[in-house]
Amino acid sequence: MLKVEEQQPVEFSSALKEKFDEIISRYPKGKQKSALLPMLHEVQAELGWLSPNAMDKVAAYLDIQSIEVYEVASFYSMYFLKPQGKYMLEVCRTGPCCLVGAEKLMNHIEKNLGVKEGEVTSDGLFSWRGVECLAACGYGPVLQIGPEYTFYENLNEQKVDELIQDLRKK
Amino acid sequence: MARKLLLEHINVPGINTFDVYRQKGGYRAVEKALKTLTPDEVVEEVKKSGLRGRGGAGFPTGMKWSFLAKPEGVARYLVCNADESEPGTFKDRYLMTHIPHALIEGMIVSSFALGANTSYIYVRGEMMPQIRILEKAIAEAKNAGFLGKNILGTGYDLELYVQPGGGAYICGEETALLESLEGKRGNPRIKPPFPAIAGLYGCPTVVNNVESIAATVPIINDGGDEYAKIGIGRSTGTKLISASGNLVRPGVYEIDLGLPVEEFIYSDEYCGGIANGKRLKATVAGGSSVPILPANLTLKLANGEPRLMSYESLSEGGFATGSMMGSGGFIAFDEDQCIVRNTWNFSRFYHHESCGQCSPCREGTGWMEKVLHRIEYGHGKMSDIDLLVDVSKKIEGNTICPLGDAAAWPVASAIRHFRDEFEWHVKEPIKCLDTNYGLANYAEPIVKAEVTTGN
C-alpha cells in the first residue's frame, strides 16, 4: 500500500507551520499527537496527497515515529497515498443513494471522464471513486470534491456533466 | 403540528449567526445554568427529562452523565460525537449546517454540568463545510463572552474545539472516536474501563451525540419535567428523523416521539407518501444497522395495532417482527427495489468499514459481501442462504464493538423477512439480472399510496 511513488522533497510553508502550531495548541501539553488527523488534512489540501516524505516531515514535527503517521494515513479513507486528479469526484455508493440512482450516475461519470474508478484523466484534472455513506441520504445522489469538500446534491446525469464542464473551465 | 424544540427557528434568515440566534432566545440556557443552577442540578434536570442518547444506543443521557468519575485534580472531558456516518442518517449535518449555535449552546451547558473545561466536537472529516461553520460559530460565541475564561463573570472557564475525523464509520463508536481524537487508528477499546472512568487521555470522559447535546438546551430552558411530558412512555421528547429513499419529500423532520409510522410516511406534514405513486415494500427504520421490516410490519405490530415512532414500539416484537429506533435514519424502499441488492450493498459497507481488529467481523463481513454478491449476480446456491445466516450468527456478539452486530442484523433480517426473494435469485439466475422480484406475497397488506405526484 505504501509503495513509494515519485518522491519529491517536501518543505512546509511558514503559513502551514503556523496552522500546525495553532492546531497543536488545542490539546494538553504532551498530547500533540492529537493534532495528527487535522494536520494531515492541511498537508493534503496543500500538496494534493500524502507522500512518504510529507508524512515523515509531519512525524518529525509532532516528535512521533513515522510509522505512527503511516498507520493512521492508511487507516482513514480520506487520505490519498498516491497522487490524484486535481478534482477528485467522490460519489456516495451506499444504500439510500443507490435507491435514487447513484449506481447509474457512477457509470455515467466513468463514461464522461473516460477513466475507471481510482484512475486519473490524462490531463491530470479528474479522478473519481465511489465512497461510503456521506450522511446526506435525503438529498441523493450526492458527490463531494476536496479539499474543501464542496457538496453537490440531488444530482442527475445532466447536472454532473455541467459540473465537470465548469471545473474544466476553471 | 408537532412542537419544534430543536428546529423551531430553522427557517429564520441568519439563524446560523450568533446575533440572530441570540435575538430568538438563544443562549438563555447558558445564562440559566451558569447563573442559577449548580452542575448537579443541571444533571438532575437532564435525568428528569428522560432524554435518551440520540446517536443510536438510546441510553439515558442523564444516567450516562452521573457515571462520570470525578477524582480530584484530574481533567474531565466532554466530547461531542458528530461523526455522523450511519447510512440513512443525516440529521446532525442538517442541525450543524443550519443552526450551529444550538450545538454550541448545548456544549456549554453540558460541559458545565460535567465540570469539563476543555471540550471537543469530533466531526467527520468529509463535513469540512460544517467544520468551518462550527469554527465560525465558536469564534462568535467566544467574542460574546459565552466561551473562554470566566464565562458571563461566573468563574467558569471553557475552551471548545472542533476536531476533524479522517473518514471512518467506526469512529462513531465512542471508544474508537477517542482513539481517533488521540491521533490513532480508530480501533475500538475493550470495555471496561468505560470512558466515564478512563476516556480521552485516560481521563473521565462523556461522549454524546450532537442531537442529545442540542436537546439539553430546551431541557434547561423549560425544565426536565416539561420535556418529559412530550412523547410516550420512556420515549420522551422530540426526535430528529432523517427520511430517505423512495419518498415524496425526503428530509429531516422533528417529530414528537410516539407519532404513528403510517402518519410519518404518508401525511403531507412529513414524507408525503411513496414517490412516483408506487407502493411501500420495506423500511429500515433506524439507520442501516437495524433490521429491515416489510411494509406490513412497518405500519403495524404483529398484533395489528399501529406501530409508533418510539424506542419501544419500533422494537416491539423483538427481531422476529420488530426493528429498532437506532439513530432515526428512516429509509423507505418502493415496490421496485431489490432487497438482495440492498443487502449486498449494506454488507459491502460494513466490510469496507470494519476496522479489522476482531476476526469474526473482519473476515465475516467479507464473506457475507462475497456470498451476497454471487446471489445478486446469479451465481448463488440454495445453501448460500443458510450459510449467510450462519456467518451472521457467528459475528453477532463476538466482537469488541457493536459494528459486528450492525453488520449481522441487516443480513439476518433480510433473509428472515424476504427469504423467498433470495431463493428466487438462486432459482432464476438469468432473470434476476434484469428483472425485479417485485412485491410478492409477504408484504400484505400494503397501503396504496394516495399521493401520486413524485418529486
Residue in chain A lying closest to B123 (CA): A38
Is the per-residue pLDDT at A5 higher than 70? no
Is the per-residue pLDDT at B434 higher than 90? no
pLDDT of residue A6: 60
Give the separation between CA B169 and CA B84, rounded to whole angstroms.
Answer: 8
Burial of B370 (0-12, 13-18, 19+ CB in 10 A): middle
What Å distances lie between residue B55 and B24, B158, B173, B210, B259, CA to CA?
27, 24, 10, 8, 19
pLDDT tens digits, one per residue of A131-144? 999 999 999 899 99
pLDDT of residue B1: 52
B139 touching chain A per CB within 8 A: no
Q: Estimate the share of chain A in helix, then strand, then coil, as percent rounded to the nearest 5.
A: 45, 10, 40
B346–A95: do the CB atoms touch at under 8 Å?
yes
B252 touching chain A per CB within 8 A: yes
Give the separation between CA B224 and CA B374, rounded to whole angstroms.
Answer: 52
B118 backbone dihedrals φ, ψ, rounded to 5°? -135, 130
pLDDT band at B81 (very low <50, low <70, confident <90, very high): very high
pLDDT of residue A144: 96
Region A42-66: what's the mean pLDDT? 96
According to the 3-state scheme, what is the secondary structure of chain B? CCCCCCCCCCCCCCCCCHHHHHHCCCCHHHHHHHHHCCHHHHHHHHHHHCCECCCCCCCEHHHHHHCCCCCCCCCCEEEEEECCCCCCCCHHHHHHHHCHHHHHHHHHHHHHHHCCCEEEEEECCCCHHHHHHHHHHHHHHHHCCCCECCHHHCCCCEEEEEEECCCCHHHHCHHHHHHHHCCCCCCCCCCCCCCCCCCHHHCCEEEEEHHHHHHHHHHHHHCHHHHHHCEECCEECEEEEEEEECECCCEEEEEECCEEHHHHHHCCCCCCCEHHHCCEEEEECCCCCCCEEEHHHHHECCCCCECEECHHHHHCCHHHHCCCCCCCEEEEEECCCCHHHHHHHHHHHHHHHCCCCCHHHHHHHHHHHHHHHHHHCCCCCHHHHHHHHHHHHHHCCCCCCCHHHHHHHHHHHHHHHHHHHHHHHHHCCCHHHHCCCCCCCCCCCCCCCCCCCCC
User: Strand B329-334 relative to strand B238-245: parallel, antiparallel, unpaired?
Assistant: parallel
pLDDT tens digits, one per residue of B44-71? 999 999 999 999 989 999 999 999 999 9
B166–A95: do the CB atoms touch at under 8 Å?
no
B209 touching chain A per CB within 8 A: no
Sequence-ordered list of residues with C-beta below 8 angstroms from that of B417, at least 6 positions apart, any chain = B282, B292, B293, B294, B297, B442
pLDDT band at B3 (very low <50, low <70, confident <90, very high): confident
What Å distances lie between residue B43 and A1, B117, B168, B216, B238, CA to CA?
48, 16, 32, 10, 19
DSSP-assigned beta bridge partners for residue B254: B240
Which of B161, B191, B162 is closest to B176 using CA atoms?
Answer: B191
* Residue to test with chain B: of A99, A103, A150, most B Cβ within 10 A: A99
User: Which 74-113 residues of chain B touch chain A by CB within 8 A?
Assistant: 75, 84-90, 92-93
pLDDT tens digits, one per residue of B384-427? 999 999 999 999 999 999 999 999 999 999 999 999 999 999 99
Neighbours of B383 (CB within 10 A): 10
Q: Please list every residue in chain A whose beta carbon sits closer than 8 Å to the beta carbon of residue B181.
A: 34
Percent of chain B at pLDDT exceeding 70:
96
Pick B345's closest partner by Cβ from A40, A94, A150.
Answer: A94
pLDDT of residue A101: 92
pLDDT tens digits, one per residue of B205-217? 999 999 999 999 9
pLDDT of residue B435: 84
Is the per-residue pLDDT at B448 higher than 60? no
Q: Please list every residue in chain A whose beta carbon sits closer than 8 Å to the beta carbon of residue B179.
A: none
pLDDT band at B192 (very low <50, low <70, confident <90, very high): very high
H or E element that contains A39: helix A36-47
Length of chain B: 455
pLDDT of residue B436: 84
Pick B164's closest partner by Cβ from A37, A133, A135.
Answer: A37
Q: Please list every residue in chain B whose beta carbon sits closer than 8 Å to the beta carbon of residue A75.
A: 166, 168, 185-186, 355
Mean pLDDT of chain B: 94
* Residue to test with chain A: of B89, B128, B241, B346, most A Cβ within 10 A: B128
* Terminal CA-CA length for chain B: 23
pTM score of the predicted model: 0.94
Pick B352's closest partner by Cβ from A100, A132, A144.
Answer: A132
B346 touching chain A per CB within 8 A: yes
Is the per-residue pLDDT at B333 higher than 60? yes
What Å distances lie between residue B159 and A28, B141, B204, B208, B291, CA to CA?
12, 11, 17, 17, 40
Region B247-270: what's the mean pLDDT? 96
pLDDT of residue B441: 47
Is the per-residue pLDDT at A158 higher than 70? yes
B246 touching chain A per CB within 8 A: yes
pLDDT of residue B450: 46
Is the per-residue pLDDT at A80 higher than 90? yes
pLDDT tens digits, one per residue of B147-174? 999 999 999 999 999 999 999 999 999 9
Is the per-residue pLDDT at B447 higher than 70? no
* Residue to test with chain B: of A25, A34, A91, A106, most B Cβ within 10 A: A34
Region B11-22: what's the mean pLDDT? 97
Q: Please list every residue in chain A whose beta carbon sits closer than 8 Å to the beta carbon of residue B210.
A: none
pLDDT of residue A170: 84
pLDDT of residue A160: 96
pLDDT of residue B49: 97
pLDDT tens digits, one per residue of A111-138? 999 999 999 999 999 999 999 999 999 9
pLDDT of residue B2: 64
Pick B126's closest partner by Cβ from A68, A100, A149.
Answer: A149
Pick A35's closest partner by Cβ from B87, B183, B242.
Answer: B183
Is the per-residue pLDDT at A85 higher than 50? yes
pLDDT tens digits, one per residue of B223-232? 999 999 999 9
DSSP-assigned beta bridge partners for residue A128: A89
pLDDT of residue B443: 47
A135 touching chain B per CB within 8 A: yes
Q: Please list every residue in chain A whose beta carbon sits closer than 8 Å to the beta carbon of residue B124.
A: 135
Which of A155, A104, A97 is closest to B342 using CA atoms?
Answer: A97
